[in-house]
């Protein structure tokens, strides 16, 4: 009993000292949560600059990259220096933060390695043997495909098999985009209805999930009792334009066309400005084909 009471007192004393230390933190020093997040991103930035050394081959470029990171966090270099110095003087607290950040980095690295290994282990298929309606679940921009990508075409029969609900989405996740990404990576979904064609383009510039939503049946004009159009075909492509083959680590995964994924998807109901009559359309399929 005495041992438990003594342990409690020690714990209480340590907690009081920690709270007191935090309360005495100067206002220019970041709080622990914000400091941990900034440490995490600084470690990532340093690793990026080391791996992409050809992009950061001068002190000025490295400094600009780090300063941009600080700006994204709303932190000045002076605040970073003050915070780093303050936490370094409290070595126990700093080591706990550092261990927490390194554990997060290790988990993120393991998840990325596992995903890349899973995609690399997939059997390579000759695109010429695939159906035009085939959509890969994963795609890697290897050196031989760095200027290419993939495209697909779904006819009416394909749509009835693949899309059961009125609303559906086209989504994919992207990893491996480097900082200062200057090449053109884009996707486009072209929806062809009875007398309407809708284009849903997306520019891809960062590592995240991308998604657009659409409908099989366009709403009609209730005032004039005109029935809406029915989707007849879908043409889609995803294309990387990289003539120097510099971005061959970019990977697309979890590529889906089907049930709606996420709440931030772009609804086709908001794309009225993209609608054009079929007879005015001058877009040839050959100009969209990814060669």
Looking at residue 207, its pLDDT comes to 86
Block residue for tokens 């061959």 = 248
- Which has the higher per-residue pLDDT, 202 or 245? 202
pLDDT at 263 over 80: no
Candidates 108, 110, 84; CA nearest to 98 is: 84
Looking at residue 126, its pLDDT comes to 53
Average pLDDT over residues 184-204: 91
Q: What is the pLDDT of residues 81-110, one digit of tens each?
A: 999 999 999 898 999 999 999 998 888 888
Looking at residue 194, its pLDDT comes to 84
pLDDT at 121 over 50: yes
Looking at residue 262, its pLDDT comes to 45
The CA radius of gyration of the chain, in Å to the nearest whole number, is 26
Looking at residue 229, its pLDDT comes to 81
Q: Which token pair is 276?
A: 């054009």
Q: Which token pair is 231?
A: 């989707």
pLDDT confidence bin for 152, thresholds 50/70/90 = very high
pLDDT at 3 over 70: no
- Which has the higher per-residue pLDDT, 283 or 1? 1
Block residue for tokens 């438990």 = 4
pLDDT confidence bin for 79, thresholds 50/70/90 = very high
| Run of H or E including 150 | strand 149-154
Looking at residue 165, its pLDDT comes to 85
Write the DSSP symbol of residue 264: -
Average pLDDT over residues 193-207: 89
Per cent of the chain over pLDDT 90 is 23
Candidates 152, 131, 127; CA nearest to 234 is: 152
Looking at residue 273, its pLDDT comes to 36
Contact 166, 236 (CB under 8 A): no
Average pLDDT over residues 210-230: 74
């Amino acid at each position: 009993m005495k041992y438990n009471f003594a342990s409690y007192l020690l714990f209480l004393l340590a907690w009081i000292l920690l709270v007191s230390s935090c309360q005495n933190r100067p206002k220019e020093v970041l709080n622990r949560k914000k400091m941990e997040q900034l440490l995490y991103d600084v470690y990532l930035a340093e690793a990026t600059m080391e791996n992409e050394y050809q992009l950061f081959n001068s002190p000025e470029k490295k400094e600009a990259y780090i300063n941009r990171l600080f700006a994204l966090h709303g932190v000045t270099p002076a605040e970073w220096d003050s915070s780093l110095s303050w936490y370094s003087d409290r070595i126990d607290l700093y080591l706990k933060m550092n261990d927490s950040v390194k554990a997060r980095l290790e988990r993120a690295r393991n998840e990325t390695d596992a995903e890349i290994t899973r995609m690399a282990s997939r059997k390579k298929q000759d695109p010429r043997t695939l159906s035009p309606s085939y959509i890969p679940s994963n795609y890697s921009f290897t050196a031989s495909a760095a200027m290419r990508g993939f495209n697909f075409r779904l006819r009416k029969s394909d749509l009835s098999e693949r899309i059961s609900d009125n609303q559906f989405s086209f989504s994919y996740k992207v990893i491996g985009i480097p900082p200062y990404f200057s090449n053109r990576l884009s996707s486009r979904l072209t929806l062809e209805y009875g007398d309407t064609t809708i284009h849903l383009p997306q520019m891809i510039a960062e590592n995240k999930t991308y998604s657009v939503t659409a409908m099989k049946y366009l709403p009609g004009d209730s005032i004039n009792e005109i029935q809406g159009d029915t989707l007849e075909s879908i043409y889609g492509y995803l294309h990387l334009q990289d003539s120097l083959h510099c971005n061959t680590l970019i990977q697309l995964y979890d590529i889906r066309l089907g049930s709606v994924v996420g709440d931030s998807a772009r609804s086709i109901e908001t794309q009225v400005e993209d609608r054009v009559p079929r007879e005015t359309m001058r877009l040839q399929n050959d100009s969209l084909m990814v060669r």
